[in-house]
Amino acid sequence: MEEILLFAHIAGGSVALICALMAVSSKKGSNFHRRVGRIYALGMATIGVTAIPMAIISGKTFLFLIALFSSYLVFAGWRFAVNRSGRPSKLDWIAVLIMLLTAATMTIGAYIIYAEGSDMWVALAVFATIAAVLGLVDMKSHISRRTIGKKRVARHLTNMLSGTIATVTAAVVVNISTDPAWIAWLVPTVIIVPVIIYWNVRTLKG
């Protein structure tokens, strides 16, 4: 079972990475962009669906939290893409509350890891901060019910590209070793976050 989950996980990640590059480089709103985006979402959904049971089987709470974190980002990104009214559904509210709970749990986990003497608390603390910020921004969007037009597209891009960070991070961590280990976990974040900021500015001004 673990081998099947791992194979599906890697396949989903590979598809998601390829489609992410194609989606970013294609014209936003075009038929091609939407089709590639759907495949990307399916690839990321596969990652989430397989990562959660894999983390449970291995007993690695850290990976379980990261799986919830990345799964929310893709779900929220997809919802902002299809919800043009700006009015959140009950599922949107449940998802964002889970995200904020995940952020809180990550924060506690980071403290526990720090107390145990592991450097990995740095990575978990950064991810906790990102989860809290994105979750609170999405909650604000749900409350205002005014996230439409360019704002909606910006939220869509932010969440989708943030979800992509998790996939790139997995690829980096598996293939590159650093000392301390948290550097490999955070390199994709450092590289991709400026891209997210760039696309947000361009989208809101365009």
pLDDT tens by residue, 122-159 = 999 999 999 999 999 999 999 999 899 999 999 998 99
Which tens digits make up the pLDDT trace of 32-55?
888 888 898 888 888 888 888 888
Asked if 46 and 12 touch (Cβ cutoff 8 Å), the reply is yes
Indicate the number of domains in the chain: 1
What is the model's pTM? 0.86
Which residues have CB under 8 Å from 96's CB, separation 6+?
72, 76, 135, 138, 139, 142
- Is a pLDDT exceeding 70 seen at residue 206? no
**What is the structure's pLDDT at 182?**
93
Tokens linked to 18: 């390829």
Which residues have CB under 8 Å from 45's CB, separation 6+?
12, 71, 74
Domain extent, residue 184, equals 2-205
Asked if 74 and 166 touch (Cβ cutoff 8 Å), the reply is no
Which tens digits make up the pLDDT trace of 81-114?
899 999 999 999 999 999 999 999 999 999 999 9
